[in-house]
Amino acid sequence: MTAALTRGGREWTPEYLVSINPDLCIGCGRCFKVCGRDVMTLKGLNEDGEIVALDDDEDDEIEKKVMAMHDEAACIGCGACARVCPTNCQTHARA
């Protein structure tokens, strides 16, 4: 991918969110709050290490809440989510 230009004419290469490590994620939601593109969503991690939808009936089976990819194609590569993540659980890559 070729670099884009900022409004000021500087080169900028987007780095897109490609994954979130559920072992490192603490489900704080900071990345979700700064992303206006609905790229991530809050999910549950069950005792088998599987990412599952949050459901009030199944809260007993949830070990912890984590952020997970929701609409990967909506990411514009701005990196805001990486800047606010306290655990560095995200992987970003150029297209």
List the structure tokens of 45: 């991690």
* Whole-prediction pTM: 0.87
Alpha helices in 15-54 (DSSP H): 30-34
First-to-last CA distance in the chain?
A: 6
> Please, are residues 19 and 90 in contact by the beta-carbon 8 Å criterion?
yes
Partnered with residue 73 across adjacent β-strands are none
pLDDT tens string for the chain (95 positions)? 567 899 999 999 999 999 999 999 999 999 999 999 999 999 999 989 999 998 866 566 899 999 999 999 999 999 999 999 999 999 999 98
Distance in angstroms (rounded) separating the CA atoms of residues 27 and 43:
8
